[in-house]
Structure 1
């Protein structure tokens, strides 16, 4: 039972870490290069700035 719970927690933690790493990587690529690619598709990024 404990092993099953630990496995579920490990899977969730790995998923969350992967999600965060992917979003950070895309943001960094957009800042540096103005875009990113996925497979054969290339995406252009524009930053939306809030006026305070």
Structure 2
């Protein structure tokens, strides 16, 4: 298995990464929004649900 950041061999202690540095780089990408989980454009919320959610927050 290779590290998704630098392509080196992984180390069991940091799997799926090779080091804490690569793990931190990956975490930074998630925290800054460079990685994102795709969502479908068509959501299941009705307009009433959306309005209720907006008024509760």
Q: Sort the TM-score into its range (normalised by shorter chain).
A: 0.3 to 0.5
Rg larger for = 2
| Structure (1/2) with the larger strand percentage | 1
Q: How does the TM-score come out when normalised to structure 2?
A: 0.32
Larger % of helix: which? Answer: 1
Scaled by the length of structure 1, the TM-score of the pair is 0.34
